[in-house]
Amino acid sequence: MITWALLAVLLVSALLYSRWRHSYWSSRGVPTAPGSIPFLGHTLKLLNRKKYRWLIIDEMYRNHGGSLFCGLYDIHNPNLMVGDPDLVKAVLIKDFDHFADRRSFKATNPKDKVFNEMLTSATGDHWKGIRSVLSTSFTSGRMKGMFPLVEAKAEGLVDYFHRQLEKDPVIRMKESFGMYTMEVISSCAFGLETNSFEEDGIFPQKAMEMFKISPFRMAKFLLFLTVPKLAKLLNVQISHENTEFFTDVVIETMKQRKTGGKRGDFLDIMLETREDQNEKTDKKKPKYPLSDETVIASSVLFIIAGYDTTANTLGNATFLLAKHTEEQERLREELKKIIEEHGTLTYQGIMEAKYLDGCISEALRIHPPAHFTERCCTKNYQLPGTDVVIAKGDVVSIPVWSLHHDQRYWPEPEKFDPTRFFPENKDRIVSGTYLPFGLGPRNCIGKGSLALHCVGLHKKKNGKPLH
Ligand code: HEM
Ligand SMILES: *[C@@H]1O[C@H](CO)[C@@H](O)[C@H](O)[C@H]1NC(C)=O
């Protein structure tokens, strides 16, 4: 009898506690998106495997205030969806000092050391230090230097297509681009020949596995979201097991580099940067020495962050071009002309290909591989023009896909129209509504290297990136 009463009291208290946590947004006058349930918040709704996540988010964006802002709960943690372009720019660019971090798990498992050191999850000054060192790897000069490495891999891809065509007239474009991307990244990141075009290329396989989220991994993430302290106490490992595979490869390559020659890849650049730092140590110790861990973590991260995103973009761009034969023909003509002018396809030539830029940009608009991005609030912030205060620790998420498909900003949003991105049409693009690479100081560091794969994506105009 007493135990039942006790249980009932506990349950009711727990429910009340949950309800109190879930009143966070309403008590601040922020509309809450529907679908929040006790204890779990919106997490279950967003994990629905039967519906694309960006469509679930889009519903909140369109019908429940998200196109300005609306409140969500990850378990009990407040998450503000901000969809108004001016507010998006305020959070990502103007008031970046309030939103310098992403959500970080700070896992304690020793196997997560590499994960914690990655630029994507690093926080505060630590992030700033790594970011400024790594930025030197992605200048246009560096990119140009890597062009021959990429060219060789593009030839490998064409060879692969020819070989496949002899066996089967149907080619799986996404997988093929996956192999190509893996070849390019592993070659550019640390001079590794991964033989991805062979039947049993282990690298794409290992990388692909990392994007499949098993129920077990999901449970671990949820544990970190619900009771981070317990997750740390239990030493739960958050990074995928395959991280180790890539870590070992990088360590092995670094060893070889100490004896072998240079190739001009990212690993060389990072090791050079470190030598520079070491030379300076007598006079002034560098503030953020590039440790072995950072070099390893960055190399592994480049594979993780660049592989799926790039393959997706190339896959979707070709798919759209296959469906739009007129546009495809126009692109073909443009490239033919450029090759005629330059004799062959050069980095410069690709940078001049305006229509190509439009096609890739449009593919990224319709199918942004990162359909949302987020920041963690690092100091209290009053949302401009409102009374709403976002507290330190709250998450802000930006509905990238919805902004790209909002007809107020993009007339006929489902239409594939590469000319939207022509220089003469550029002033029609509302700023803050196109962000396939995010925005501001914490945007995608690798977007320039995509210009290599995806060619011409970030052409410079008067020294400024096109978008
Ligand atoms: C089509 C290809 C790609 C897309 C669409 C893409 C998209 C993104 C997006 C949306 C973000 C978050 C930005 C933000 O929160 O504002 C990001 C971050 C990042 N990306 Fe990419 N990315 C691509 C390719 C790459 C490549 C090839 C690399 C590396 C070689 C890379 C490395 C990174 C890193 C390290 C970050 C974290 C930056 C930081 O936290 O400071 N990405 N990317
Ligand atoms: C196109 O993009 C969508 C959304 O990002 C993705 O689910 C799909 O796999 C991509 N298709 C190809 C062929 O890459």
* pLDDT, average across residues 403-429: 96
Phi, psi for residue 441 in degrees, rounded to 5: -60, -20
Per-residue confidence (pLDDT) for residue 406, from 0 to 100 = 98
Residue nearest to atom 3 of ligand 2 (CA): 367
150 in Cβ contact with 459 (< 8 Å): no
The rounded Å distance from CA 280 to ligand 1 centre is 31
Instruction: Name the percent of the chain lying above pLDDT 90.
Output: 49
Identify which of 190, 113, 116, 115 has the alpha carbon closest to the alpha carbon of residue 149.
190
Residue whose token pair is 């469906």: 323
CA distance readout (Å), 295 to 184, 241, 251 = 19, 19, 9
* pLDDT, average across residues 172-193: 85
**List of E strands, 25-173:** 69-74, 77-82
Task: Name every protein residue with a CB atom under 6 angstroms from any ligand 2 atom.
Answer: 173-174, 312, 315-316, 319, 367, 369
Residue nearest to atom 6 of ligand 1 (CA): 437
Confidence of residue 286 (pLDDT cuts 50, 70, 90): low
Distance CA 235, CA 256 (A): 33
The pLDDT tens digits for 313-328 are 999 999 999 999 999 9
10 Å Cβ neighbour count for 84? 18
Phi, psi for residue 187 in degrees, rounded to 5: -70, -45
Beta bridge partners of 375: 396
Higher pLDDT, residue 18 or 459: 18
> Above 90 in pLDDT, residue 461?
no
Amino acid at 170: V
Please report which ligand is nearest the Cα atom of 320: 2
Per-residue confidence (pLDDT) for residue 344, from 0 to 100 = 84
The rounded Å distance from CA 309 to ligand 2 centre is 9
Please report which ligand is nearest the Cα atom of 135: 1
Residue 149 C-alpha from the chain's centroid: 23
Angle at the Cα of 243 (from 240 to 247), degrees rounded to 5? Answer: 165
Probe target for ligand 1 pocket from 183, 434, 437, with the most ligand atoms within 8 Å of CB: 437
Confidence of residue 438 (pLDDT cuts 50, 70, 90): very high
Per-residue confidence (pLDDT) for residue 198, from 0 to 100 = 75
Residue nearest to atom 24 of ligand 1 (CA): 306
Quick one: tokens of 397? Answer: 């998420």
Higher pLDDT, residue 35 or 271: 35
* pLDDT, average across residues 104-119: 86
DSSP 215-231: HHHHHHHHHHHH-HHHH
Higher pLDDT, residue 116 or 438: 438
* pLDDT, average across residues 279-290: 64
Would you say how long the chain is, in residues?
Answer: 467
Kindly state if the Cβ of 309 falls inside 6 Å of ligand 1. Answer: yes
Burial of 294 (0-12, 13-18, 19+ CB in 10 A): buried
The rounded Å distance from CA 230 to ligand 2 centre is 36
Per-residue confidence (pLDDT) for residue 280, from 0 to 100 = 65
**Phi-psi region at 35: left, alpha or beta (left = phi > 0; alpha = psi -120 to 50):** left
Beta bridge partners of 247: none
* pLDDT, average across residues 348-358: 90
pTM score, two decimals? 0.91
Per-residue confidence (pLDDT) for residue 419, from 0 to 100 = 97
Confidence of residue 454 (pLDDT cuts 50, 70, 90): very low
Per-residue confidence (pLDDT) for residue 465, from 0 to 100 = 34
The pLDDT tens digits for 85-99 are 999 999 999 999 999
* pLDDT, average across residues 284-296: 75
Instruction: Name the percent of the chain lying above pLDDT 70.
Output: 93
The rounded Å distance from CA 444 to ligand 1 centre is 3
Kindly state if the Cβ of 444 falls inside 6 Å of ligand 1. Answer: yes
Residue whose token pair is 């192999």: 179
Kindly state if the Cβ of 302 falls inside 6 Å of ligand 1. Answer: yes
Residue whose token pair is 């008590």: 27
Please report which ligand is nearest the Cα atom of 438: 1
Per-residue confidence (pLDDT) for residue 376, from 0 to 100 = 97
Per-residue confidence (pLDDT) for residue 362, from 0 to 100 = 97
Probe target for ligand 2 pocket from 316, 373, 414, with the most ligand atoms within 8 Å of CB: 316
Beta bridge partners of 93: none
Confidence of residue 357 (pLDDT cuts 50, 70, 90): very high
* pLDDT, average across residues 456-463: 31
Q: In whole numbers, what is the pLDDT of the chain averaged over residues?
A: 88
The rounded Å distance from CA 208 to ligand 2 centre is 14
Measured from the CA of 54, which atom of ligand 2 is nearest?
Answer: 4
Lowest mean pLDDT among 118-122, 285-289, 297-301: 285-289
The rounded Å distance from CA 457 to ligand 1 centre is 14
> Above 90 in pLDDT, residue 416?
yes
Confidence of residue 105 (pLDDT cuts 50, 70, 90): confident
Per-residue confidence (pLDDT) for residue 65, from 0 to 100 = 95
The pLDDT tens digits for 120-132 are 999 999 899 899 8
The rounded Å distance from CA 285 to ligand 1 centre is 30
The rounded Å distance from CA 437 to ligand 1 centre is 6
Residue nearest to atom 9 of ligand 2 (CA): 312
The pLDDT tens digits for 202-245 are 887 888 888 787 888 888 888 888 788 888 888 889 888 888 88
Please report which ligand is nearest the Cα atom of 176: 2
CA distance readout (Å), 130 to 214, 326, 375 = 31, 45, 18
Identify which of 109, 84, 143, 139 has the alpha carbon closest to the alpha carbon of residue 408.
84
Kindly state if the Cβ of 301 falls inside 6 Å of ligand 1. Answer: yes
Lowest mean pLDDT among 240-244, 394-398, 429-433: 240-244
Per-residue confidence (pLDDT) for residue 455, from 0 to 100 = 40
* pLDDT, average across residues 369-377: 97
For the 83-465 domain, the top CATH level (class) is: mainly alpha
Report the chain's C-alpha Rg in angstroms: 24
Distance CA 204, CA 189 (A): 15
Q: How are beta strands 389-390 and 381-382 bridged, if at all?
A: antiparallel
Per-residue confidence (pLDDT) for residue 272, from 0 to 100 = 82
Confidence of residue 10 (pLDDT cuts 50, 70, 90): very high
Confidence of residue 456 (pLDDT cuts 50, 70, 90): very low
Per-residue confidence (pLDDT) for residue 460, from 0 to 100 = 30
Residue nearest to atom 5 of ligand 2 (CA): 369
The rounded Å distance from CA 321 to ligand 1 centre is 24
The rounded Å distance from CA 315 to ligand 2 centre is 7
The rounded Å distance from CA 358 to ligand 2 centre is 18
Per-residue confidence (pLDDT) for residue 226, from 0 to 100 = 79
Residue whose token pair is 């993780």: 304
Residue nearest to atom 40 of ligand 1 (CA): 120
Per-residue confidence (pLDDT) for residue 312, from 0 to 100 = 94
Please report which ligand is nearest the Cα atom of 370: 1
Helical pair 292-323 and 325-342, crossing angle rounded to 10 deg: 120
SS3 32: strand
